[in-house]
Amino acid sequence: MRHLFLCLSFLVVCGALASAQSVSQPSPEPVRREYDPFDTLHAHEGTEGDQRLEEIRLKRAQEERRKALAKDTDRLSQLITELKESLAKADPTKVLSLDAVKKAEEIEKVAKRVKNNLREPVQ
């Protein structure tokens, strides 16, 4: 009984301290952001400057997408070559190695990423 009383007293004191701290703390100031010309919240549709900024943003997105696709296809080519070499070295009468199975799974994952990246429109 005494143990229960001590636990409840401790909880009440902790709750009082927590509420006192939350009341005494001033509210944080709003975060101020610098102007970002590519931020769609600040874009004013229809002006010539905004159309130019949108074209620049679109070109950058297309370039990043092209670089990502090139990187992924290079990785895919490397994985396929490694898998072919691994299969050529393997004994055809035995079960495939775990390494070959992992490479096949990674090939599938990278190929799916390439496929999805090609399907998505650049925004």
* Tens-binned pLDDT, residue by residue, of the chain (123 aa): 544 444 444 554 445 445 544 445 556 666 666 666 666 555 555 577 888 999 999 999 999 999 999 999 999 999 999 999 988 888 888 888 888 899 999 999 999 999 998 888 877
Does 103 fall in a domain?
Answer: yes
On the 0-12 / 13-18 / 19+ scale of CB atoms within 10 A, 33 is exposed
Does 40 fall in a domain?
Answer: no
Does 49 fall in a domain?
Answer: no
How many whole angstroms separate alpha carbon 112 and alpha carbon 27? 47
Q: Give the ranges where the chain is alpha helix by DSSP (H).
A: 2-24, 48-89, 98-119
Does 74 fall in a domain?
Answer: yes
Does 41 fall in a domain?
Answer: no
Q: Under 8 Å CB-to-CB from 117, ≥6 apart: which residues? A: 65, 68, 69, 72
CA gyration radius for the chain?
Answer: 29
**Whole domain around residue 109: which residue ranges?**
56-118
Q: What is the number of structural domains in the chain?
A: 1
Does 92 fall in a domain?
Answer: yes
Does 44 fall in a domain?
Answer: no
